[in-house]
Structures are given as structure tokens and as C-alpha cells.
Structure 1
């Protein structure tokens, strides 16, 4: 039985395998209970967020958790061919109800499925199901009847004129017919009116019947304008656009070497590619390190204001440069993230839009060292192990070592006593190294020795440099090759004051 660490403590488990991992991503967030409440509001009220804090404290997890609490998408977006101006395709928006109605119409166009015994006997004979000698039904592809041994098709040619008169079959006017047939076209009287009906043989012992209504529906579907679904109804509600290029963020129109020639090329509507802002329609658009796409922030602002943004060909040398699709919907919840030092580089109107329609949140880097929070860190260990999928679970002793490391990091990095660090991505690296060491040692669990090794070795490259060379200056001096030193007119003589015990 799994243990819910929200209500229990570390001593209630033996290994991290006993810990219940919540299905709701918000319940997996560690140390940001007050922010979680804002996230729930943002999901329900569709508010924008700016999350500020150092890397690795859960900003992306919070953004992704919003999508878990959103309703499923209600609209599908399609680009439709414009026969009068192909370079200006139309946008068609269909909601779920309209699509369900369309699905029912398509089902009608597909016809009814019946058993071979439920159609006229003459039709069953021509489709190969019924024996003309004994009247028994069997496999349509067997020419010899399994019941009487007779040739099922031997007398059909002799009866062609009679059947043609009986069924009014259109095929009677053309050349010879091979048996069994794949389809039979005839007429029937329904509600006092004669109508065309087609019987098609399908897999097994079934036959599809296409009546007048089904044929008309098929004709309507065929006559519909060509279209390209760019945002399907079934889609992800969380779009990660960190570091996206202009075309990835805003969309594009693919190049066609034939310039969209009606016979040789690909029509413009088929080459339209949505951007992340369009794919996030009705969902969440998340951009971490928002300052890295400084030149595109004004486009995000425009999309947030209008809730629609055109898709155009963005390469002036491309055949798609003349194509433009107006008013493509992009109604999304915008979640941006950055470090404290980068706040000044966010476009002021964009920040104003977030403030006016959402919240700016400064995230914590530590949490109090309480029994409840220690239990949450144990849950974090279990979550990281499950998410990795390649390392074993950990003993309580191993978890306690990691918790002690969380205390040290809170004190050293953030100068907080009686606290636990929330820079959890770095701790995740420690857990994975410990797990890898356990795997290489063929151990079934991460034990204290594995966690101790990881705590001492899973350190940043900066810390490794200081540990080995005492300072960055010494490291840079030793990193120069002999040829580099000689090119400066100086022999490569090591500094006698540097500790060379690691060389």
C-alpha cells in the first residue's frame, strides 16, 4: 500500500517505492504551496503568469500543471483553399458540436453494414455469398459451394438478362462481368419512390449498403473545398516554446519549388504551418528565459491582445512569401519565466499585459526545515526515480543523506539556516548519479554508500575547478598548451605555488 507523504512522515516508509506519487502535477510541486493556489486560479480564470527565480526550482512544472486543469479543447482550426485567390486561404473554425454533427454525416455517407443474408438473394449471389444451386451461404471467394459442391457462378451468365430485368442493374449495359463482383448497383422502391442503391462486399460476411442519402452525403463531402487541418481537436494543451525561432513561434508557409503551380506544385493552403502561439490555442504557451527571444516579444504581445495572429511566409526568397492567412486564432494562457537579473529586459508593454491580466510571482529558493517538508523531499526523490525510469528506488538512509545535502545547500547558496533548498533540479542530478552507481554495482536499491558518492561527486564544473586548481586564474593558466605559451614568447613553466597533487 502506498503512503501519501502529504499526511505521513519519513519514518512511515521503508523505501521510496512505498511513496504515493500524485497524479495531479500540482501536488508534485515541492515547497511552493502558496504559488500553487495562484496556478489554480490561473487555470480556472485563464490568467497569465510571470514566474521569476533561478533555474531548477520548478517553474516549468508549475506551467505544465496549468494545462492539467484546463478543459479539453473545443475548437479545430482548418485552412481552406480559396479558388479565387489561392495565396489568401480562408480560416475555418469548427467547435466540438459541429464536428460531432459532421462525424454523424460522414457515418451516414459510409452506409449501413448488414449480413449477406439480409440483402436480396440475387445480390448475395452476384457478390459471391449465396450458392445458386442449393441457396446456402458461405465464403464469397470460394467458387465451389461447401454444401452441395456445385459451381456457384456456372449459371449466372445464363441468367444475366433475367437478373438485369429483375434488379435493374446498370452494369448489364457494359462488357462481361467477373464473378464474384465487388459491388452491385441496382434500384429499389422506398416510401413509394424508386432510388439507386449500391451493395458493396467488405471483409467477412458483411455487405455495405449505400442508399440515396448516403450517396448524396458522399457527393457533398467530395464537393467540399480542399482543406488542411493545422490545429486538430485532439492535441496537447501545453506548448513549450523556449528558445523558439521566429518561424517556430509564429508559423510559416513552406517553400514550393514549383511556386504553387496548380498542376505541378503544392497549393498554398497545404503549405501553411502553424506556430507555437497557434498550437497553444485554448491551452498554455510556456517560454522559459523569455529574454532570449527579445525580438519576438512584441509579436507575443500582439497575439495576446488580439487572440489571433496571421500566418505568413517569412522567407522573402520562398514561394510562400506571398501567402498570408488572416485571423488564425491563438487564445492561450501565457506563462513566461526568467531570472531576477533579466526582468529589466522584458518588454514593458508585455509585462503590463501580464500584470493587467494575470500575476507576477517571485519564487522561493528554500523552504523551512520541518517534518512535513522533509516528507515532501522524500516524495521528490520518489518522483525523480519514477520519472527517470532507469534507476532503482532508494532506502530511507539514502534519502536522509540527500535531505542533509539539501540543508547544506540552503545554508551555503542562499544563506538560510534551518531550511531546505528548493533548487531541486540539482538534487535530481545527485539522485540520478546515485542510481547509476547502484546499477553499475548491481544493487537493487540506492543505498547510503551510493548517495554519499553522488553528494561528493555530482558538483558543478565551477566547483570542480576550484577544488582541483584552487582558483579560476590557476586553472586558466594550466589550461594553456605549450604551443600557446611559446607563441607568446614565454616558456611553459608551471607556477611553483600551485598545488599539483591532482595533475
Structure 2
């Protein structure tokens, strides 16, 4: 029996294996119920968000959850060759409906597939399915009829020699044939009109019929301009662009050592690479620690304002530097994230755009210590175990120990009593260490002894330094190699450290 922790409590489970993992990512977000309401609005109304708070409290999970609630993409973006000015390719936007219509047209161009008995008898004879002597149908590659033993093609060769090929396009002087024709071209009357029709043998025992509509559609497809799909219709709606470079964020045109030479090189339209802002079209563009790409914030602002952004060659030494594709769509929901101390480094016009078309949200770092929230932490444990995929589920006793650790961290880090920490990434590290120990001990579950070990050992390097040396100053004084200590004479103090190495 599986248990929904939104309606049950910790005492109702034996292990985290009993817990239902919600399919909706919004229901996997722990401790931010008020924020989730804004997130639902952002998804429905396509609003931008700025999430502010320390690392590891669920900012990226919230951004992904928005994309889960968006409708499927409706537009495909294609860069099309411009024969008059190859360095200025066109942009073509097709809707899902238009693409479905094209698929129908393409199926028309593919013709109808039928059996040999469904085509005119002379055609079936030319394609090698029907015996000219007895009228029996058999394999097209069988020159001797299995029914009467006659040569299926001798009569055809004789008739062709005197009359020519009225149906097919075989050479008159090609001599006798030992295999059937692959294709026969003739005419037929359809809807009171005579039209050209082609019968083509495929897959050995089937015939494809290409009527006037199919032939015209094929001609249109052949005449289409060369193109490069840069943003396909079937794509992810969540684009993570944290720490992206300029080319990764804004797109580029690849270098061609032959400079796009029509015979040797690659044409400019084929070398166009979209940026994250284009790939996020109709979806979510998420940038964590947005201040780390401070120099690119103005481009993000421009894309948010105009909903289009050009793709250009960004390397002046590249053959693609002269290529530019104008008005490439980039209508995305922007979700940025940062710490409190970094708010001041966000471009003011960008913040103004977010405030004018969205919400700025300060994330919580703790939640009340209630039975309901303890149950949500148990769900979090189950989610982490499922996401990791390499560790076993945890017993209720092990989960209770982790919840006690969550109380302790809320008290020590955030000075909050009767609370549970929401710095869940750190707790995720504890869960994984406990799981790894359980695996090494060949236990079926993460038990209290494994969780105890992880709680005591899955600590940051800063805490490890303080635990060992009592303070950073002591650690710095003592963290000298033996060679340095001997070279400095008698003391390990800062005064004897060789500053030339620093």
C-alpha cells in the first residue's frame, strides 16, 4: 500500500518505499506552499520570476516545475538558405498545425501502396508479377512461371522489340531482359481526367502508385529551398543556462575553413547554432547565480523586451563573422536566481522588467516543525532516493534521525526554534552517504546506524576544519608542509611564512 504524504503522517509508514512520489514537480517542492501559488500563476500567465535565497533550497526545482505546467511547443524555427545573399539566411516559423498539414501532403507524395493484383494487368506484367502466358501472379524476381513453366518475360521482349515500350521507359536497344522493370509510366483516367501515373515496385512484393497529386507534391518538395531546423517542434521546455558563455546563451555561426565556398565549404545557413535564449522559446530559461553572467544581462533584457534576438557570428576571426540571421524568436519565461548579497549586482533595468512582468520572491530557509512538515521531509527522502537510483530506501527510524538533524540545522544556521531546515541539498548529501554505507554493508534499507554515521560525517570542509583545529586561524598556522616548517626555522607562526608563495 502506497501512502500520499500530503494526507498521511510519518507514523503511517514503515520505510520510504511506502511513499508515493508525486508526478507533478510542484508537489515535490517542500516547504514553499505560498510560493507555489505564484509559480502556478507564472506558468499560466507566462510571468518572469526572480528567486532569492541561499543555495540548495529548491530554486531550480521550482523553475523546472513551471515548464511541467506549460502547454507543448507550437512553433518550429528554421533557418532557410538565401540564394541571393547567403550571409543573410531567412527565418521560417511553422506552427504545429502547419507541420501536421505538411505531413499529410508528404504522405500524398509518398503515393499509395497496393498489391500486384490491384494494378492493371499490363503493368503487373511489366513489373514482373504476372505471367504473360497463364495470367498467374508470383514473385517479380522469378523469371519462370511456377504455374505454367513459361518464360514470363520472353513475350514482353518480343513485343517490345516491335512495338516499343508504350508503358515503361526502357531502352529500345537494351536487349532481352532477365529481370522485371522497377518502374512503369503510363496514363489513367481519374475523375474524368487523364493523368500521368507511375507504378513503382517496392519491397519486393508491393507496388507504389504515384498519381498526379503525388508527382506534383514531390516536385514541390524538390524545389524547396535548403534549410536547417535550429529549434525543433519536439523539444524540452526547460533550458538551464547557468554559467553559459556568450555563444551558448546567444547563439553563433560555426567557422568554415573554406569560407562557405559553394563547392567545398558549408553554406552559412547550415552553420547557424541557436543559443539558450532561442532554445527556450515558448518555455523556461533558468539562470542560477545570475550575477556570474553580469556582462550578458543586457542581452537577456533585450530578448525579453523584443521576443526576438539575432544569431550572428561572434568570433571576428571566423568565416561566420559576416553571417547574421535577423528576428529569431525567443519568447520565454525568464527565471533568475541569486543569493541575497548578490541582488545589488543585477542590472536595474532587468529587475524592472521582472517586476513589471512577474514577481520577485524571497525563498524561505525553514518551515514550522509540524507533523505535516515532517511527513513532507519523509517524502523528500523518498524523492532523493528515487532520483539517485543507487541507494536503498530508508526505514522510518532513519528518517526520524534526519528530521532531528533538520531541527538542529534550523536552530544553528538560521537561529529558528521549533523549525525544520529547508536547506535540503545538504540533507540530500547526508541521505546519499547513509545510502552508500548501507550498500557497502549489503543492507536492504538505510537504517538508523547508517544515518547516524552520515549525520556525523557528511559535513562541510569548513566544519571539518573547525572540528579538527578549533578555528581557521589555527588551521592556517598548522597547515604547513614539513619542508616549509624546517625552512622557517623554529616557528609555525604567520610571521615565518614565506609570503612570496602567496
Find the aligned partners of 2:232 and 2:328 in 1 and give their Cα distance.
13
Superposition pairs for residues 69-468 of structure 1, below 5 Å? 69-161=69-161, 164=164, 167-173=166-172, 175-176=174-175, 177=177, 179-203=179-203, 205-468=205-468
Distance in 1 between the 2:373 and 2:144 partners? 78
Count, aligned residues: 493
Q: What is the Cα-based RMSD across aligned positions, in Å? A: 1.9
- Quote how far apart the aligned CAs of 1:96 are: 1.4
DSSP 3-state at the match of 1:215: helix
Contact map agreement 2:73 2:233 (CA 8 A) in 1 = yes
Separation in 2 of the partners of 1:490 and 1:150? 110
Q: Which residue of 2 aligns with 1:475?
A: 475
* Native 8 Å contact 2:160 2:172 kept in 1: no
Distance 2:273 2:437 in 1: 45
**CA distance in structure 1 between the partners assigned to 2:320 and 2:25 by the alignment:** 41
Question: Where does residue 41 of structure 1 map in the other structure?
Answer: 41
Per the alignment, residue 56 of structure 1 pairs with: 56
TM-score (norm 2): 0.94
Which has the higher mean CA deviation after the structures are superposed, 129-138 or 246-255? Answer: 129-138
Q: Deviation string for 1:88-125 (max 9, x for gaps)?
A: 11111111121111111111111111112111223223
Q: What's the secondary structure of 2:330's corresponding residue? A: coil
User: Separation in 2 of the partners of 1:361 and 1:336?
Assistant: 10
SS in 1 for 2:170: helix
1:494 shift after superposition: 9.4
Tell whether the 8 Å contact from 1:170 to 1:186 is kept in structure 2 after alignment.
no
Compute the displacement of 1:11 (Å).
Answer: 1.3
- 1:475 and 1:125, CA in 2 relative to 1: closer, same or farther beyond 3 A? farther
Structure 1 distance, partners of 2:440, 2:116, is 63
TM-score by length of 1: 0.94
CA distance in 1 between counterparts of 2:173 and 2:400 reads 86
Contact preservation (8 Å) 2:141, 2:179: no
Contact 1:280 1:330 in 2 (8 A): yes
The 1:213–1:178 alpha-carbon spacing in structure 2 relative to 1, beyond 3 Å, is: farther
Mean CA deviation greater in 132-141 or 471-480: 132-141
Corresponding residue for residue 500 of structure 2: none
The whole-number CA distance in structure 1 between the counterparts of 2:144 and 2:474 is 93
Change (3 A) 1:452 1:261: same
Aligned-pair CA distance for 1:345: 0.3
What SS class does the counterpart of residue 248 from structure 2 fall into? helix
Question: Structure 1 stretches of 5 or more lacking a match?
Answer: 496-503
Give the deviation of 1:367 after TM superposition: 0.3
Report SS of the residue matched to 2:328. Answer: coil
